[in-house]
Amino acid sequence: MAKAACIKRLKKEMRDLVKSPPPYIPAVAPNERNITEWHYLIQGPPDTPYEGGWYIGKLKYPDNYPQKPPSIMILTPNGRFETGRRLCLSMSDFHPESWNPIWSMSTVLTGLLSFMTETTPTTGSVETSDEEKKALARASLEWNLRRPELRSKFKDYLKEAAVKSDLGHLLDADDPPADADDDQAPEVAEERAEGGVDSGAGVDSLGRTSTPVGSTPEGASGPPASPQREPSEE
């Protein structure tokens, strides 16, 4: 069970995020049964291969937070990180020795986004072309909407984009409980990226297309999300 200090800190951070969300991170959502588990929503920054994309990920906080850092993973295929795998960053649970207790959820997410727009390798990262990343960005909204356990967490934030993309019908499906389990890496699925990937191109669990594809957000601040070259945690 999470300690009282952890619960108090996370509740405060949620209030702060609602009041002043970081650039391109419009929302976070706690697990209703476990406040140490959070989902976040990233909107792809302009002038990057992720522009127009919507990316959902998860943070898991230890019971003694803020003394120890959270684990960080991303669930939506993106071409930068493996999906459903803990990421090795200086501010993640891979490296508690570099963690600073004054850093907050906002700091962590801002640092993650900054590192996402770089190309530095680390445990959990993958190599894809900018064209592949752009194709995955185009496919990301539909990918999220077709997964009720993710869609239900951020439906209000994805609604406008879904309607504009003629995907509004995907909002009408029945949603699972808000705290439905999604710990497993997203399954291999065939996704359509309009204008970039044909309808037969699949998206694997690394966030890469199975067929060839075509030929630091402004205002962000926080600790350097420097990668730490480590062997896999398996």
The catalytic site residues sit at 88
Q: How far apart are CA 203 and CA 51, in angstroms?
A: 18
> How many angstroms separate the CA atoms of 1 and 185, rounded?
25
Token pair listed for 180: 């439905």
Strands (E), the chain: 27-31, 34-43, 54-60, 71-74, 189-190, 202-203
Question: Helix, strand, or coil here: 234?
Answer: coil
Torsions phi, psi of 43, nearest 5? -100, 125
- Using CA atoms, how far apart are residues 168 and 96, in angstroms rounded to an integer? 42
Say whether the peptide bond before residue 66 is cis (omega within 30 degrees of 0). yes
Q: How far apart are CA 140 and CA 126, in angstroms?
A: 17
* Residue in this structure with the two tokens 């439905």, named with its chain if needed: 180
